[in-house]
Structure 1
Amino acid sequence: MLVNKTKPTLSESIRDGLVELIVSGELKAGERLIETKIAADFGTSQAPVREALRELEGLGLVESRPRRGRHVLPFVEQTIREAYVVRAALEETATRLALLGGRLPFDEMRADVADMYRCATVDDVRAMGLASTRFHRRVIVAGNNFLLERAWEALQIEARTAIALVVTKPRLRDVADEHAELLQALESDDVEAACLHTRAHQWAYADLPHDMHGTARTVRFPGAVA
């Protein structure tokens, strides 16, 4: 059966295009972002550009200055490292709560992983991001803690996941494999091992110069300190 790729909205395409320009260094920290120019570059109206810029501002890639417009912020520290470290703590806690309460929806999570493998087959990065977010949201919801869920949603996980996939450009098959391994850990009877795997899963994307145990590692993103 042929599986078609999902199509991003105009604002998502502009958002991802701007992310690539920022990561590559074509748009530098402090550079002003002019809506009319961006709209012309992407061949669209200003409305989706404005929406994309608002999202990037919420993600810490762009800031708005009174009477001076929007400007590019430094990339790695705010968009990858900090968010994934916080996310790791939230998801580890949710995992513990969900496992102890026996609330994880394993059938749905298996379906999410199967969907990720389908996404990898057709190289659908956008759908992979959506499937990954859906998988992790199930763990958060199963944690049955309102404040934890609210904090997780405040990180704008769906958008950050999309950006991380744009930046890191991983093999989508590897992403699916990582989630299959995480699911296997969650399905085991070892709560501590499952929590550790959950934390490690997020720390791998934090791209810090050390892992969660303090062991030195090499960072991958442009401008990062090795």
Structure 2
Amino acid sequence: MPHDDQLIPLHWRLVYDNPLRSAEDVRGFRMEGDGAVSFPLGRMRLESTRDPNEGQSANLVYWCPFDGPEDAAISWEFWPIREPGLAILFFSARGRGGEDVFDPALAARSGIYDEYHHGDINAFHVSYFRRRWPEERQFHTCNLRKSYGFHLVAQGADPIPGTADAAGPYRMLLVKQGAFVTFAVNGMVLFRWQDDGTTYGPLLGGGKIGFRQMAPLIAEYANLKVYAP
């Protein structure tokens, strides 16, 4: 099984490195929805403060202020703590007119998923640890979607076990290079997709990274790193 280092182009360098160890590390991050951020074990824990029976209103997105480059390898460590739920990473997120995701001219967002795939932004979203609904728990997959729109463009098996058997950290890695997007867990490539820049809209460039969770998932994250040419 390859290591992450074998999946990141050799000449790329580290351009962002955040241990996500304390409140100081997430200064400048932005929460959308009602979520709590804590560091009980020295890594970032995210959870909703709403009743999951409220549906989409109980979900959250936590944006990193770093503006990722057009070509980037994004790695982070993941621990599932409580399920059911679902985790997503948004990347290459910008306003549909090229604006920063934090631009106040964009429509307000509150964690409701429609606001992210049919709102004012374009983005990729990779969903993993998909355990929210019974059908997701019966057959585990990781999905890559592209927006604007709700386009499912790639899918692969999810190797992460349920919380009863999980023994993280699980090393998550996304590599966006030109028209290609590759996703791997613990060095195992789950899918590699080529965007033709037409079928699902133009190629996406750089932009913000955001952690999304569907309630009642509790999960922890550490060592967010971004590499670029």
**TM bracket, shorter-chain basis:** under 0.3
Name the structure with the higher helix share. Answer: 1
**TM-score, L = length of structure 1:** 0.28
**TM-score, L = length of structure 2:** 0.27
| Higher relative contact order, chain-length normalized (CA < 8 Å, sep 6+) | 2
Name the structure with the higher strand share. Answer: 2
Task: Give the structure with higher Rg (CA).
Answer: 1
